[in-house]
Amino acid sequence: MEPAPIVPSDYYPWHILASTSWFVVYMIVCLSIILLNALTLGIVLKEKLAREASRNVFLTNLLVSNTSGGTALAMMVVLYAGKGDDSICLLFIHLNMWNYQVNTSSLICLMADQLIAIVYPLRHTQLLSSKVIGTATVLIWVAPVIHSLVFAFGIGGHNLCFPLLTKENMRVIGIFLLVTLDIIPITLALIFNIPILIIARKKIQEVWAVQISSTANGPRNSFLQIWRSILTTTIMVGTMVLTAGPFCLVIVLVISSKTPYPHGRYADFERICQGVLSISVNYLVSPFIYAWKIPQVKRFYLKMFMQLKCKGE
């Protein structure tokens, strides 16, 4: 049987991506991510949830990247509306890579902050000075640029949005994304998180004693805040692993696909787009984790819920 003739849509999948159902799904997820994370970000900036400046800064970075991740997902809304083009495709890819890396880097920095607070409770402020925090924040937001440059010019990642894409090129892109967006971040997160839990359990009494002797007011609250932060971060790491799983599966399917190009290009491109949706669930779940584990956030959402309920009655 002869292969089906090549038509323009085989080269430019966004022309046939138009789908009302996927458009609605992406629109709901996109708006929910932006709204919930923006509200939670406002609470963090207003309340200063942690005593330590470093913890507030890294938490703020997380929420900003979550909110921006919702904005990046809006590019997918445009594609499924059938209004996409090459520039929208490139913007979708780079914004999602950038936000995901900022998100994971902020989470790792937050865990490093917790590790220092547990191991060196008296030197925490000294080791994480405002200069160190500022440098870390700049690196968190600038380092993804290097990743984007390697993606675009090192492995020909931009071909994903152009007719030049070959099957071998797609395999290289898939392996690059799998390693840099899944394997390395998840490994680093686990390397930090598991020792933090082990050390924290061993040092509970020691940290308690240090805080009682060095803090005039509220030693119990101070220690509980650190412990609550560790538990919250542990849940976030678990969520990151779970939401990254489907994306890993999608990339493996793309890498192992036997369908020749250009006919298989549309299917692989759409798999990647839908794999990104699974990662975006992490941005959507984060505000609910904060509302569950952080008292100030919980009070805000309960108050808002009660006000809406009263208005409805």
Rounded to whole angstroms, how far apart are CA atoms 135 and 139? 6
Residue 230 lies in a domain: yes
In a domain, 6, yes or no: no
Q: How many domains does the chain have?
A: 1
Question: Would you state the pLDDT for residue 138?
Answer: 93
Q: What is the mean pLDDT of residues 257-282?
A: 78
pLDDT for 73: 85
Give the pLDDT confidence of 83-120 residue by residue, as tens digits. Answer: 767 788 888 888 889 999 999 999 999 888 888 887 88
290 inside domain: yes
Is there a contact between 287 and 32 (Cβ–Cβ < 8 Å)? no
The pLDDT value given to residue 158: 85
Chain position carrying tokens 């409805």: 312
Cβ 237 vs Cβ 107: under 8 Å: yes
CATH value at residue 274 = 1.20.1070.10
- Region of 300 please: left (phi>0), alpha (psi -120 to 50) or beta: alpha
Q: Which two tokens stand for residue 117?
A: 């607070």
> What is the pTM for the complete model shown?
0.82
pLDDT higher than 80, residue 211: no
Q: Is the pLDDT of residue 309 over 70?
A: no
Calculate the average pLDDT of the chain.
80
Residue 45 within any structural domain of the chain: yes
Instruction: Please report whether residue 2 resides in a domain.
Output: no
